[in-house]
Structure formats: structure tokens, C-alpha cells
Amino acid sequence: MLSTMQDVPLTVTRILEHGALAHGTAQVVTWTGGGEPQRRSFHDVGLRATRLANALRDELGVEQGQTVGTLLWNNCEHLEAYLAVPSMGAVLHTLNLRMPTGQLTWIINHAADRVIVVNGSLLPLLAPLLPELGSVEHIVVTGPGDRSVLDGCRAGVHDYEELIEGRPERYPWPVTDERRAAALCYTSGTTGDPKGVAYSHRSIYLHSMQVNSAEAFGMSAKDTLLPVVPMFHANAWGTPHAAFMAGASMVMPDRFLQPAPLADMIEAARPTLAAAVPTIWQGLLTELNTTPRDVSSLTHVYIGGSACPPSLMKTFEERHGIRVVHAWGMTELSPLGSMAHPPAGLTAEEEWPYRVTQGRFPASVEYRLIAPDGAVVPPDGQAVGELEVRGPWIADAYYGGAAGEPMRPEDKFTQDGWLKTGDVGTISPDGYLTLTDRAKDVIKSGGEWISSVELENHLMGHPEVAEAAVVAVPDEKWDERPLATVVLKEGATVDYAGLREFLAQRIARWQLPERWALIPEVPKTSVGKFDKKVIRKRYADGELEVTTLD
């Protein structure tokens, strides 16, 4: 028997139309760094997105299926592109401005971007790349910046506001197949070329519904969201589409991502929810300690990208009343995979073992753990394996293989349709994920595994440690042993022996690092994660001053 339900496409167009109409009074506030921030209602954003679509089609010749690149900060113009480009049947390609220039050039050419919308402040980054960008025909510039750097480029140069001025406020939105690509995001390419993940209209719509569910962000029209996570990274964790769907107002930080302006905008714009990687919140906590602000509006902070030290979570809650919620995901998952909301009926103390996990999987994300021999590991909270997932907003392949075919490398996708995440951990019987490491970062010492993440979290729980990264280094006796690299806070007096003793109270003694090094900061990837390959290379090249304890 077939159902009697209507088969209506799930598209970004519907998010645009619904948000602009039903939640037209909600606000998008973009920080300007001085004076009054820019303010636009969802209704105005919808009209401007419609004008942008008309301009892209009529003036710049963008057709359905073609890609439009955005080299933009988190701001209202970026949101307008988020909505306009997919709705007109084209594909939004968010460009990671923190990628090495060689990789940035590569992904623009690989995606064949016809148009790039760019913030004026980022023109010095884009201009040197233009001679190598064969597909780019138009550059659309928004905001202040030195446009003379574009003199002589073969692409047409347009001002964003002038381009959309006077365009029609209606558009014949196409009836798009919900499985067509709506947005394209490339992984950061820590090994080899970046890999393109093409999100469908359907996956974005379903992911937005999940983000707005109570077991995720639980956003509604009563909320104001501060998305610090970049809109060029996994669609800012899917939060702009979800917020526009739910009617949650947004505070866009633009390029003002330093702790002081973030503290200022929280005090002034009064967001209730925020999302960013742990390093952002570590910096904000230090800023609030030295220069207090009123951040009482902020009730929940969502942290992902890398493991969050429990000490950071507890400090935010105890000092500022802000609940930090751990999340896990990756570009290939749109990116939401799990959220660490504890079960009901527990005391605050009983909740902590759940809150420090990566969280529980929602119904739409199937999961399994795989042992090195290929066997499925039971979800008993003890057995360790590599995590594999599948679901309606999870990639089945990468974009742009030979002859336009999708790419399914064996180290990322299984023959039966699961994504290999590269993360190692355990899963409890009630579906809570605890990651112990990346498969490539696990320290294999004497036939046993040591979790670098666990060591890092304990070290960053020391009151005099700002950051810590632990990597495996070769060892003649044990094959591998941990090297602890540490960033101390200003004025710290603790020595390596003291740090080792601090660890000894928390982990088995055989896991304690013998090798230690001080570093000025932990190197980061383009999306703010610890870049451990840089540390491993520095060690191999003899660049670190390593102290070995007996």
C-alpha cells in the first residue's frame, strides 16, 4: 500500500519564503565595529535575497546548476546569498578564507565558480588569485575596501548594493528537485586536495528541522542566535538556515571575532544562544575575567569542532550562568551528528558524565563502531571502535570525480553505504558517543591505546594551562609515546614535573607523558581545530625544545 500523503519538495526556497513572511519582524544585526550595527528584518532580507537572485540571473547570467562563490564574513549579505542562490536553482559555494591560497584557488577552479561575492576587506586575499581562476566571470563586492586591487582583472567588477538596487522583488522560483545540490562546502584538506561535499535542498531542510528540535539547539522565535562559527564552514553548522526557518533573530559578528568585540556584542545585542569552537570561548572567558561585561542574556553556548575541556564548561556555568553544550559533527554530516543533552531526571552532578560526552545521536543518524578487524563493536560504553554513520543529511560521496562522477574513496565510504568518520570512541547503550581520539591521533603504546584528547582535557583543566596538544612520537621500547606540548598562562609557575603529577592524579601512570615542550600557541587548522600534524613535523624536524622526565 502506498501512502496518501502529498509529495512536496523540501527546499531552501520554502525556508526563504516562510522566514520572510511568517517571521518578517525578526532581526539580522550585523556588527560594524563602531557606531550602530546594521539592522535588517527577515522581511527585508527576503526582499533583498529576491533582488539578488534577479540580478544574478539577469545581469550576470547565472543559470540553474551553476556555482556562485561567497568569500564573506558572517553578515547579512552572506545570509542573503545563502537564501537567494539555492532558491534560484544555482549552487552556493562558501569559500574558506582561512585556507592556504593554493587550496583556495584549487576549490574555486574545481567548483567552476562563475561569480564570487566578496567582502571589500577580503579583496587583498582574492585579488592575487584572479589570474589563476579560469571560470570566474564576475566579482561582486560588498562593504568597504580598496577596490583598486581589482584594476586590470578580466572579470567584471560590480558593487553589491548597486547590483541589486531597483531589481524586482518577485522571482519565479523554480520547482527544484529536492535532491539537487543547494550548497557546496570543501573539507579543509589536511591531507591531499580538499574534498567537496554537496548538500541537497532536502538535506538542508531536514538538518534545519533537527537543529531546531529540542534535542539540538531548540531555537524558536523567542531566541537570538550569535553564530560565531564561520558561514564558510559546514554552513555555520546549519544555523543560519535553521534560524531563518524558526524565526530566531541573528547577531552576525562579521570580521570582529576577537574576544573583546564578541564580549561587547553579547552585552549590546543580547543573544540567547551562540555557537563556536572551544578556542573562541576560551578567549572570551579570559576577556570576561579581565574586563567584565553583562552576558546574562546568553543561556546556552554550543561547542563543537574539537573536544571541549570540562573545566571550561564548569567555569562558564559557575561564573556566568551559561550552559555549555558539547556537540559533535563534521562537514560530511551537514554537520550535526550528536548533542550532549543529558537524560531527564538527573541531578546536576549526575548530568556531568553525559555532558562531557560528544552527545546522543538523533533518530536520523544511524551509527556503528567498527573494530580494526572489521567486526561491529557492541554499543556497551566500553568497547572501542571507529565510528561510522549514515543518514539523510550525511554525505554519500564527494563532489567532482572523473567525468563528473561522485568520488567514494575506500578510506571514507563503505561498500554498504556508511561514512567512515575517522573518529575512535565508545557508544553507550542509550546512544551517547564518547570520542577518545581521531584514528590518526591515537597513541599506540606497547599494544595499548592512549587517548590524546583525554590527556589534553586533563592538562587544560590545570589552572595555569591555557592550551595543550598531545601527539604520538616514536619510541624504541613502546613503539609510540605521548609528547605533551603546553601553552602556559601569563605568570604561570608550574613546571613539567608539576603538570605530570597533576595528570598522575587523573590517569593511569603508564599513560603519563615523559616528553614535554612549551609552545607559544597550539597551531590551528583553517576551521580552528588543533593542527597536530604541524606539531609532529616540528618534533621530527627538531624544532621543539623537548624535556624528557624520568
Chain-centre distance of CA 274, in angstroms? 13
| Residue tagged active-site, from 80, 332, 454, 467 | 332
418 is catalytic: no
Is the peptide bond preceding residue 335 cis, with omega within 30 degrees of 0? yes
Q: Indicate which residue of 187, 421, 485, 525 is catalytic.
A: 187
* Chain-centroid distance, C-alpha 251: 17
Decide if 36 is catalytic: no
Q: Is 281 helix (H, G, I), strand (E, B) or coil?
A: helix
The β-bridge partners of 38 are 30
Residue 144 to residue 154: CA distance in whole angstroms: 21
Is 349 assigned a catalytic role? no
Query: What 3-state DSSP class applies to 332?
Result: helix
How far is the C-alpha of 454 from the C-alpha of 437, rounded, in Å?
A: 8
Residues sharing a CB contact under 8 Å with residue 323, sequence separation 6 or more, in sequence order: 299, 300, 301, 316, 317
Rounded to the nearest 10°, the torsion over CA 147, 152, 155, 161 is 20
Which contiguous run of DSSP H or E holds residue 79?
helix 76-87
User: What is the Cα–Cα distance from 42 to 21, expressed in whole angstroms?
Assistant: 8
Catalytic residue, candidates 444, 448, 547, 548: 444
Contact 488, 465 (CB under 8 A): yes
Q: Phi and psi of 449, rounded to 5°? A: -100, 135
Which whole-number Å values give the CA distances from 439 to 20, 195, 371, 435, in the listed order? 44, 19, 11, 10
Query: Is 386 annotated as catalytic?
Result: no
Question: What are the grid coordinates assigned to 550, written together?
Answer: 624520568
Task: Write down the catalytic residue from 106, 352, 449, 478.
Answer: 449
Radius of gyration (C-alpha) of the chain in whole angstroms:
24
- Active site amino acids: 187, 332, 444, 449
